[in-house]
């Protein structure tokens, strides 16, 4: 299949920062590429270049068969981008916003209406459809924004962290929307901080770090590539975490990962249940009490950790339930994380959105 998105050796510098240091990727038509990487890795910059919003210093890109640098306007007519062209109008209702986008793209009034209602339903906004967008909470706006990007069913879509900040119910709803789009033939480049999102949606994953693609494959291939199993231990006493790490190091095939606040230690091992039994005996002999221990196959989190040296970021959800509860965060640059949720939402009768605009995930095209 011809690639619907192709980038060759993209380089982009901002002063001293080499945001893209030779990014190459290709996305076959009708498939989903998940772009994974820590904060500051160059994901958004890649999306912005491919979506014609930013000129690279060098390199080449072709989207839907059209050269991005030579014919940006043509490319723009063939792509959808989350949070970009949508430009939600505060003073229009949710329904009017979507209908307007349809009419801008020369749909008939009837077609635009049908499409708007369909999208509102998809994004759980039907009840709010007749309220002006300015009464919407952050999470609702984000969904409206995404809906607007989908009005015209573009053949190629870029979604930059589409579900960051959404609560689990809306995330699931969006995943279903994305799966439907892909079934209908849309090619998608998706950046995400949620590894389970990449695991579920992406046919192929590219791990990006320091402006380069450092690994590429399906989720299963990447997991197999890093190999081994993982032992996870939760130590009872915070003060004994370091001792437990020392005890485990004799069995570890690589660096142990330690989450201090949860007292969880993860080490790559090989040898299965026998090693697990040895570890339990060793911890017991050293008088280190544990709350939990288990053996598991590597996850995408382990892939991420092994390749980039740190765990994926914790992200606040719109319901304020505190993301996935992981302790790690990206290495540099301001993070999208805010303080813990600010309690029950003051906005939105559906009560599902507790997210202020400051916490809203960065959509493609906006600066972090």
Ligand X SMILES: Nc1ncnc2c1ncn2[C@@H]1O[C@H](COP(=O)(O)OP(=O)(O)O)[C@@H](O)[C@H]1O
Tell whether residue 11 is a contact of ligand X (CB under 6 A).
Answer: no
Q: Are 211 and 41 in contact (CB under 8 A)?
A: yes
Residues 142-201, interacting with ligand X (CB under 6 A)? none
Give min distance, CB of 362 to Mg ion, in A: 6
The CB-of-56 to ligand X minimum distance in angstroms stands at 12
CB 54 within 8 A of CB 48: yes
CB of 14 to ligand X, least distance (A): 3
DSSP state of 337: -
Tell the smallest beta-carbon distance from residue 213 to ligand X (Å): 12
Q: Which residue has the tokens 């600066």?
A: 367
Q: Where are the alpha helices (DSSP H) in the chain?
A: 43-50, 72-76, 94-104, 109-122, 138-150, 168-183, 195-201, 219-226, 241-249, 272-285, 300-308
User: Which stretch in 11-19, 61-69, 135-143, 263-271 sits in contact with ligand X by CB under 6 A?
Assistant: 11-19
Q: Does 42 bind ligand X (CB under 6 A)?
A: yes
Which residue number, 94 or 365, has a Cβ lying nearer to ligand X?
365
Name the residue nearer to ligand X (CB basis): 358 or 367.
Answer: 367
- Terminal-residue alpha carbon distance, the chain: 35
Cα 109–chain centre separation: 35
Of 213-272, binders to Mg ion (CB under 5 A) are none
**Tokens 């791990």 appear where?**
207
Query: Which of Mg ion, ligand X, none lies near 61, with the C-beta cut-off 5 to 8 A by kind?
Result: none
How far, in Å, CA of 220 to CA of 30, rounded?
Answer: 20
Q: Is 41 exposed, middle or buried (0-12, 13-18, 19+ CB in 10 A)?
A: buried
Q: Binding residue for ligand X (CB under 6 A) from 33, 36, 41, 265?
A: 41
34 binds, among ligand X, Mg ion, none (CB under 5 to 8 A by kind): none
C-beta closer to ligand X: residue 16 or 358:
16
- Per CB under 6 A, which of residues 309..338 are in contact with ligand X? 333
Task: List the single partner that 230 binds among ligand X, Mg ion, none, CB under 5 to 8 Å by kind.
Answer: none
**Least gap, CB of 218 to ligand X (angstroms):** 21
> What, of ligand X, Mg ion, none, does residue 84 touch, CB below 5 to 8 Å by kind?
none
Chain centre distance of CA 19: 18
Out of 6, 31, 44, 306, the only residue in the binding site for ligand X (CB under 6 A) is 44
On the 0-12 / 13-18 / 19+ scale of CB atoms within 10 A, 63 is buried
Choose which of 45, 137, 163, 187 interacts with ligand X (CB under 6 A).
45
Q: Is 114 exposed, middle or buried (0-12, 13-18, 19+ CB in 10 A)?
A: middle
State the binding partner of 40 from ligand X, Mg ion, none, CB within 5 to 8 A by kind: ligand X
Whose Cβ is closer to ligand X: residue 51's or residue 248's?
51
Task: Tell me whether residue 43 or residue 263 sits nearer to Mg ion (CB atom).
Answer: 43
**Region near ligand X per CB under 6 A, out of 38-46, 95-103, 255-263, 349-357:** 38-46
Contact call for residue 308 and Mg ion (CB under 5 A)? no
CA distances from residue 53 to 82, 107, 190, 270, 364 in whole angstroms, order as listed: 13, 25, 17, 47, 9
| Helix count and strand count (H, E) for the chain | 11, 14
Task: Tell me which residues in 18-77 interact with Mg ion (CB under 5 A).
Answer: 43-44
Cβ atoms within 10 Å of 218's Cβ, excluding its own: 14
Q: CA gyration radius for the chain?
A: 22
User: Of 39 and 319, which has the nearer Cβ to ligand X?
Assistant: 39
Residues making contact with Mg ion (CB under 5 A): 43-44
Q: Which residues bind ligand X (CB under 6 A)?
A: 14, 17, 19, 37, 39-45, 333, 367-368
């Amino acid at each position: 299949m011809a690639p619907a998105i192709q980038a060759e050796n993209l380089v982009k510098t901002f002063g001293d920062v080499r945001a893209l240091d030779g990014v190459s990727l290709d996305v076959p038509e009708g498939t989903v590429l998940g772009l994974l990487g820590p904060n500051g890795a160059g994901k958004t910059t890649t999306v912005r270049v491919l979506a014609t919003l930013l000129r690279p210093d060098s390199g080449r890109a072709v989207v839907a068969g059209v050269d991005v640098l030579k014919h940006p306007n043509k490319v723009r007519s063939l792509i959808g981008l989350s949070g970009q062209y949508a430009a939600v109008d505060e003073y229009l209702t949710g329904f009017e916003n979507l209908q307007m986008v349809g009419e801008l793209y020369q749909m008939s009034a009837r077609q635009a209406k049908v499409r708007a209602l369909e999208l509102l339903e998809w994004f759980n906004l039907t009840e709010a459809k007749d309220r002006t967008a300015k009464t919407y909470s952050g999470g609702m706006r984000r969904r409206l924004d995404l809906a607007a990007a989908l009005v015209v069913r573009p053949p190629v879509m870029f979604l930059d962290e589409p579900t960051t900040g959404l609560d689990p119910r809306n995330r699931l709803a969006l995943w279903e929307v994305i799966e439907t789009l892909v079934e209908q033939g849309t090619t998608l480049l998706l950046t995400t901080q949620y590894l389970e999102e990449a695991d579920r949606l992406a046919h192929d994953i590219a791990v990006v770090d320091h402006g380069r693609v450092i690994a590429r494959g399906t989720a299963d291939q990447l997991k197999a590539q890093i190999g081994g199993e993982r032992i996870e231990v939760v130590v009872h006493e915070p003060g004994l975490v370091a001792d437990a790490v020392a005890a485990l190091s004799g069995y570890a095939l690589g660096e142990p990962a330690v989450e201090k606040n949860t007292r969880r230690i993860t080490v790559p091992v090989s040898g299965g249940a026998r090693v697990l039994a040895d570890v339990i005996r060793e911890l017991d002999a050293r008088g280190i009490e544990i709350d939990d221990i288990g053996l598991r196959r590597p996850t995408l989190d382990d892939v991420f950790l092994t390749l980039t040296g740190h765990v994926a970021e914790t992200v606040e959800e719109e319901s304020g339930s505190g993301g996935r509860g992981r302790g790690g965060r990206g290495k540099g640059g301001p993070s999208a994380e805010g303080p813990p949720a600010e309690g029950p939402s003051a906005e939105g009768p559906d009560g599902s959105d507790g997210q202020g605009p400051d916490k809203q995930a960065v959509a493609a095209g906006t600066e972090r």
